[in-house]
Amino acid sequence: MGSLGRDLVLVFTFVNLMLCFYVGIQLFRTADFLQNAMNKLKVLTLGVLDVPDFSELKMLAVYVVLLGISAFAIAYWVDVDSSNIQKLMGTRKYKAKLTKQKKPEETKLGQIELLECPECGEELSPDYELCPNCGYELKLIACPKCGKEISRTFSLCPFCGTKLKTD
């Protein structure tokens, strides 16, 4: 992202922060107004009316202000060091690699059958064994004993324990 783009993001998040402060203050004022109005109604009804508590509305105001502060803090953190975006994306990729590998999803484009890499979304030819973009392993092998599909990098079948040949 260019310098102008980062500056615009900071300006918009600063405006968002100010709006969050404004909305938070208005929610606090509304809660106080409602509380005072209900107290006056209680006096007029000689204590028959139960006055509700408006603390939830005040907690909402605090939440809105904290939301604005956190959005601005993240934008500033990314602006200070643009590699922080890569850190956030790297965390996402790391979590994705921890999940079980799935077979690539097949899609049709006209008469040409294409695969989509489940890791990065790159369109691939059905005969690819690895994604050329991210290196994700696309083809699985069958265990010679139990026939279940497993990763070709395994030295043992996790289902039956058969030792696999290493090339």
Distance, CA of 13 to CA of 2 (rounded, Å): 17
10-36 pLDDT, tens digit each: 788 888 889 999 999 999 999 999 999
59-87 pLDDT, tens digit each: 999 999 999 898 888 777 777 776 666 66
Residue 17: other Cβ atoms inside 10 A: 19
Distance, CA of 68 to CA of 76 (rounded, Å): 12
Does the pLDDT at position 3 exceed 70?
Answer: no
Taking the whole predicted model, whether its pTM rises above 0.75 is answered as no
Sign of CA dihedral 52, 54, 57, 63: negative
List the domain boundaries for the chain.
Answer: 3-93, 100-136, 139-167
Q: The tokens of 52 are what?
A: 């509700």
The type of residue at 94 is Y
124-166 pLDDT, tens digit each: 877 787 888 888 777 778 888 998 888 777 888 888 988 887 6
